[in-house]
Amino acid sequence: MPRGMSARQPALGFIFVTLFLDVLGIGLVIPILPELVREFQGGNTQAAAQTFGWLAALYSLMQFLFAPVLGSLSDRFGRRPVILGSLFGSGLDYLLLAFAPSLPWFFAGRVIAGITGANITAATAYIADVSPPEKRAQNFGLIGAAFGLGFVAGPALGGWLGHIGLRVPFFAAAALTLLNWAYGAFILPESLPQASRRPFSWSRANPVGSLLALRRYPVVLGLTGTFFLINLAHQVFPATWVLYTKYRFQWTELDTGLSFAAVGVMAAVVQGGLARKIIPRLGERASVLAGLGIATATYLGYGIANQGWMMYAMIIFGSFGGICGPAAQGLISRGVRADEQGAVQGALASLGSVAGIIGPPIAAGLFSRFTGPQALAHLPGAAFFFGGFLTVIAWLLAARSFRTRPRS
């Protein structure tokens, strides 16, 4: 056992760094990509906004299509080649964008980025492979911690490097990603033994087939609706946070940047640290329900806040709802065979991508509908109230699934 554990520690550390760099790379280009697009469109801000929206949707679409593919490939060939291959492709993609001479190259880059960014399916399956069942929920908290830290560091570093040159953040992201790929080529062991692999099948590797395959796992199927609604509700943040806080509290770019940093820090603290203590004490099912309850109250708090400091209070309180994700991942991974971890994680990632495609227009539309001159009622927090409603439904679906399915 000591030898096995010593082998796991550097592997989990590498997965954490990989996920961190995934988010860091996205964050690096957030501050400068809209400006680059605007330059390519002759300084036309309105046209740039539309194009940027298409670029974001294209990224989510590629993740929707390819998350099950990468997950199924990792079930067939192992996690290591899929993770390393996607890292290498991601590094080359950043270099492509750094030298892109025209706008169509950026669309090609977002296609590649969406495909390689789907490596979270193999990374999540890797965590399940190397974690004992009773430790999986805690170790899945590493995902949230990596995303939180990357969310803090990426935009800050990207904004600083963007002052040097709009292409510089792409070079930085490429260098960090390729260095991690080279390091992983030497230290990352394979987590899926040959005996636990299964043949690749296109019927399971497409989004529809991967979702239909969830029917074999009752607990997973019961949590699928919950998972989708959580992701759909979460889209209110990227879609309306900047607009809402500027409209309601007259926040500046610095104010919103500080709030993003607070979100990232709290996500890292809760999901990377406190979740390891909270989830074992409450149990995974109770943690899912408690996390959803906290999330519901947080959405309502954001919607009724009338002073800026209240948003920070809700950020701190709402971060404890982050125990829901690792606990749900733990339940799902324990109910799935070793040779299907990648496929199931791919199916769930596809659902998240669907939420990323349809959620922002809904949330932004609600904000516009209830703040514009033709608003039926003045309700700036309508999108957050809608997020709270979705989370209540998610709680009910989870509770029903737990009630009808015995504990394993």
Claim to verify: residue 280 and residue 345 sit in the same structural domain: yes
**Residue showing tokens 């806040």:** 305
Within-domain flag for 40: yes
Please report which helix (H) or strand (E) contains residue 152, including its range.
helix 136-164
Claim to verify: residue 243 and residue 142 sit in the same structural domain: no
Within-domain flag for 196: no
**pLDDT at residue 23, as a whole number:** 80
Claim to verify: residue 131 and residue 15 sit in the same structural domain: yes
- Taking the C-alpha atoms of residue 317 and residue 298, their distance in angstroms, rounded to an integer, is 7
**pLDDT at residue 30, as a whole number:** 67
DSSP state of 250: -
Please give the angle made by the CA atoms of 314, 145 and 68, to the nearest 5 degrees.
Answer: 110
Claim to verify: residue 146 and residue 233 sit in the same structural domain: no
| Selection from 92, 95, 104, 97 nearest residue 54 by Cα | 104
Claim to verify: residue 10 and residue 153 sit in the same structural domain: yes
DSSP string covering 213-228: GGGG-HHHHHHHHHHH
Sign of CA dihedral 87, 92, 96, 98: positive
pTM: 0.72
CATH number at residue 118: 1.20.1250.20
Q: Which one has a higher pLDDT value, 384 or 363?
A: 384
Within-domain flag for 190: no
Claim to verify: residue 100 and residue 56 sit in the same structural domain: yes
- Taking the C-alpha atoms of residue 91 and residue 82, their distance in angstroms, rounded to an integer, is 14
Claim to verify: residue 113 and residue 248 sit in the same structural domain: no
Q: Rounded to 5 degrees, what are φ and ψ at 236?
A: -60, -30
C-beta separation of 167 from 158 below 8 A: no
Q: Which one has a higher pLDDT value, 329 or 394?
A: 394
Domain end position, chosen among 139, 164, 182: 182
Q: Which domain holds residue 263?
A: 216-408
Question: What is the domain count for the chain?
Answer: 2
Claim to verify: residue 24 and residue 167 sit in the same structural domain: yes
The packing angle between helices 79-99 and 103-117, to 10°, is 160
Query: In sequence order, which residues have a C-beta less than 8 Å from that of residue 85 and are 6 or more positions away?
Result: none
**Residue showing tokens 């002073």:** 307
**pLDDT at residue 5, as a whole number:** 38
**pLDDT at residue 129, as a whole number:** 83
Within-domain flag for 279: yes
- Cβ neighbours of 352 (radius 10 Å): 22
Helix (H, G, I), strand (E, B) or coil at 21: helix
Within-domain flag for 158: yes
Domain end position, chosen among 182, 201, 227: 182
Claim to verify: residue 221 and residue 171 sit in the same structural domain: no
Within-domain flag for 201: no
Q: How many residues does the chain have?
A: 408
- Cβ neighbours of 41 (radius 10 Å): 17
Within-domain flag for 187: no
Claim to verify: residue 28 and residue 102 sit in the same structural domain: yes
Within-domain flag for 225: yes
pLDDT classification of 2: cutoffs 50, 70, 90: very low
Claim to verify: residue 155 and residue 223 sit in the same structural domain: no
C-beta separation of 235 from 355 below 8 A: yes
Claim to verify: residue 175 and residue 266 sit in the same structural domain: no
Burial of residue 379 (CB within 10 Å: 0-12, 13-18, 19+) is middle
Domain end position, chosen among 159, 182, 205: 182
pLDDT tens digits, 24-72: 877 777 667 767 877 887 776 556 656 766 777 788 788 888 888 888 8
